Amino acid sequence: MRIIIFTVSSIFLCLSLAVLAEPEEKKRIALAFSGGPVPGITESLLHQLEALQIPTTFFLVGKDMERYPNQTHAIVSAGHQVGSHGYSYVDLANLPLSSAKAEIKKTCLLLQHHGYREKPAILPPFGRISEELGSLLAAQNFELAQWDLEPHLHVDMSRPELIADYIVQNAKDGSVVMLHPMYAHGKEVAAALPLIHAQTTKQGFYFVSLDKVTDTGGDRNL
């Protein structure tokens, strides 16, 4: 399936992911976390991810990175893919191009400061960017986050088993699961990770970061 793009005033980026079928024994699944970092939950997530050997993608907010540099450094040092969720978590579609660029660039510079050397993926706050910014990012080969599974829209996030069941029942090869554990239900998401891992691997899935599901290439700066 292709992403549906609405061009009235902005591009909406979510809920549709194009994937290529692979043999059943090689089904990929990616987890992505948006927001933060936040003390406590960041450490819990990193502990579970390391224990389960799950690579993932963290989309971090610039102001939170400045507020919690130790947690930011821990995420980068753990070797996960990291991306920008904007600097101040504002709707980029409503900003002038120069301001929207600054939101992304400030977060990218913070990631560089903490030792992240890859081109960050971009998860726009509220999943929206202007057409002008979208064209600029595409021209410079920035990866825009796409996902097809978002548990909090469908299940009671206070129950880890329901989070896992939803993912297992709906995952397909190339699925990307977007989770929002930093500000709510962080303990439950951390508790769900072993269940997700056990049940998906039993069905022939293996975990990859977002960049292993979508291929963007490119090496230019914003």
* pLDDT, block means (10 residues), the chain with 222 residues: 36 45 72 98 98 98 98 97 96 96 96 96 95 95 94 97 98 97 97 98 96 59 42
With contact defined as beta carbons under 8 Å apart, do 122 and 84 qualify? yes
Q: How many residues does the chain have?
A: 222
Mapped onto helix, strand or coil, the DSSP state of residue 163 is helix
Q: What is the CATH number of domain 29-212?
A: 3.20.20.370
Mapped onto helix, strand or coil, the DSSP state of residue 12 is strand
For residue 62, the tally of other CB atoms under 10 A from its CB is 23
In angstroms, the Cα distances linking 137 to 4, 86, 124, 201 are 18, 14, 11, 35
C-alpha torsion 193→182→70→64, nearest 10: 150
Q: What is the pLDDT of residue 194?
A: 98
First to last CA, the chain: 29
For residue 138, the tally of other CB atoms under 10 A from its CB is 12
Q: What is the pLDDT of residue 138?
A: 94
Q: What is the pLDDT of residue 26?
A: 80
pTM of the complete model: 0.86
Q: What is the pLDDT of residue 23?
A: 45
According to DSSP, the residues that pair with 17 across neighbouring strands are none
Distance separating alpha carbons of residues 148 and 175, to the nearest angstrom: 6
Token couple for 105:
């660039």
Which helix H or strand E contains 32, and what residues bound it? strand 27-34
